[in-house]
Amino acid sequence: MTQADRREPFQPEEASIADIHAALRSGHTDCVRLVRHYLARIRAYSEAGPGLNAFVTLNPKAIEEAARLDRELADGNPLRALHGVVVTLKDSIDTADMPTTVGSALLRDSVPREDAPLVARLREAGAIILGKNVLGDLSGASYSTVAGIPRNPHDTRRMPGGSSSGCGVAVSANLTTVAVGEDTFTSVRTPAALTGVVGFRPTTGLISARGIAPRKVGIDTAGPIARTVADAARLLDVITGPDPADALSVRTFGQFAEADRCEGRYRSFASGLDRASVQGVRIGIGRDFFGGDPEIDRLAEAALRRLEQLGADLVEVRFDPAFFDRYVRHAVDTLMPLLMRPFRARFEAYLATRDEGTPKTVEAWLARYETDLAASRFPPEATRPTHAIRVLRDSLEYSSNDPDYRQLIEKTLPMLTREKRAVFDAHRVSALVMPYQPMFAEPIVTPLESIEVPEFVRAPHITPPNSIAGYGSEGFPMAVVPMGFGSLGLPMGLAFMGLPCSDHALLGYAHAFEQATRHRRAPASAPTLPAE
């Protein structure tokens, strides 16, 4: 039953897309009021108050767009899929009406020529793009030379995770209804886990990568961040679709269609959610990813017991030690640097689409970073973006023709995919489940600020499952859903990982767990405003 069905005053905080649409139909709210509600909360909690700092840019025409959608509804038109739903975007996703900074002060005022395909889909569905969320320079970590760093709303002394950090903060603190992040190594899933919301990395290629600043070719994908699995699925329904101009998208949908085309249309992610979806399903416990903070392990064990009560058939699963050590534990040191080899060519191709004032080469970016920073021509809050400078410098030495890169793409990654598939086959499991991170959110450490948190527990080195997502159309999807809170009030997420193109089933498992546990909790740092 929705809020409007109960005939209570509509409360936008924690409202789902279904709640919002019910309230719009009943007249309990309208699109303009929704936008004003979120803008008031952004002023109170992102720009002031706890200073959550989730946004780079706000859409100056958001109220005007909301009024147009209200007129559309008043004229008797039906609600579109995301009619009046407030969406924010990681600021690496192109919007033709707002700057897209990719976290960098060099792009502070640079507005792309056109919307990314996923943004065009959002607008067509009636969504209101309220603004762009903070990310680290060039999608690295969380520190941005254009906007600083967001703060975790459950403990503002701590990080919210990178690099879709602003998206996670905005959704968690009710500064937006839903957000679209972008995930290369962990960038949707870690902010979701650390801020207590839902994050979904789909099979790579389900969402077109055009119009998104590149990071790692064949790995990058946009993904929804939401407060519920149902909202993530509804958002996914809108932003997925084959893009003829994106070869990976075409390839992914070719294989996806074999199992998921129904009467000539792609099956909806949202309509297939079922609270009984784990009943009788064989799910593997990814035991290699336990052994971090004992509190997180206890939360995960409780989650496993709940899954068993829901009817899941749980079995212990371990990776081959050699595979795990070489290609999971040391992925950051080995696979990830190799995957950056094509970065220069792809980044410069992306920069070529931007306005004339944008530096168009890696060399020009390096020169600007080093000279502008030295001369203090960046904004006062900016300091040396060491991660971005390292990425830019490294990219000058390599290309996609590098023999090590060709070896990785042509031999190593296909072998890893076969080995990962073999784990599923050997144990006859439909998914793997595990805690997503081995420790709770870390204290804030930036070039400008270092916060001491005496009660912070640094867990032993346990690799999170982000590094086994997969490459290209063989990219393995993963859902992260809240699994509870530690003794200090910090959230953690439970991860469900599936085979490529198992997105429908995976969302179903996450939804069943979520509905049975209801661990989502709004952060105390962003309470209801008095005027609300």
Task: At 221, give phi and psi (nearest 5°).
Answer: -155, 140
Q: Spell out the residues 6+ positions from residue 82 whose beta carbon is closer than 8 angstroms to its own.
A: 17, 122, 125, 126, 127, 234, 235, 238
Reported confidence tier of residue 469, pLDDT bands at 50, 70, 90: low
Domain presence at residue 524: no
* Whether the Cβ atoms of residue 492 and residue 425 lie closer than 8 Å to each other: no
Residue at 302: amino acid letter:
A
| Cα–Cα nearest to 209, from 192, 196, 222, 199 | 222
Q: Is the pLDDT of residue 323 over 60?
A: yes
Q: How many helices (H) and strands (E) would you count in the chain?
A: 17, 13
Number of domains in the chain: 1
The percent of residues in the chain predicted with pLDDT above 90, rounded, is 69
Q: Point out the residues that are catalytic.
A: 90, 163, 187
Q: What is the CATH number of the domain that holds 369?
A: 3.90.1300.10
Q: Residue 272: its pLDDT value, please?
A: 85
> Is there a domain that residue 384 lies in?
yes
Query: How is residue 443 annotated by DSSP?
Result: B
Lowest-confidence pick of 7-11, 188-192, 462-466: 462-466
DSSP 307-333: HHHTT-EEEEE---HHHHIIIIITTTT
* Residue 194 counted as domain residue: yes
3-state secondary structure 260-274: HEECCEECCCCCCCC
Domain around 398 = 17-517
- Tens of pLDDT, residue by residue over 261-276, are 543 446 899 998 999 9
Going by pLDDT thresholds of 50, 70 and 90, the confidence category of residue 383 is low
pLDDT digits (tens, 9 = 90+) for 61-90: 999 999 999 999 999 999 999 999 999 999
Cα separation, 337 vs 369, whole angstroms:
22
Averaged pLDDT, 52-63: 98
- pLDDT score of 143: 82
> 212-266 pLDDT, tens per residue?
999 988 889 999 999 999 999 999 999 998 999 999 998 888 887 776 554 344 6
204 belongs to a structural domain: yes
In a domain, 8, yes or no: no
User: Is residue 200 assigned to a domain?
Assistant: yes
* 205, part of any domain: yes
Residue type, 88: T
Give a yes or no: residue 179 inside a domain: yes
- pTM here is 0.95
pLDDT for 530 beyond 80: yes
Each residue of 386-411: b (16+ CB within 10 Å) or e?
ebbbebbeebeebeeeeeebeebbee
- 449: pLDDT strictly greater than 90: no
Indicate the pLDDT class of residue 142, thresholds 50, 70 and 90. confident
Q: In what order do the strands lie in the sheet with 478-485?
A: 55-58, 128-133, 86-90, 178-183, 221-226, 198-201, 478-485, 491-497, 431-435, 282-286, 313-317
The pLDDT of residue 3 is above 70: no
How far apart, in Å, are the Cα atoms of 243 and each of 116, 212, 220, 224?
11, 14, 15, 18
Distance CA 159, CA 161 (A): 6
Judged against a pLDDT cut of 50, whether residue 115 lies above it is answered with yes
Q: What is the DSSP string of 124-181?
A: HTT-EEEEEE---GGG-SS-BTTTB----TT-TTB---SSSHHHHHHHHTTSSSEEEE
Question: Model confidence at 98, in pLDDT bands (50, 70, 90)?
Answer: very high
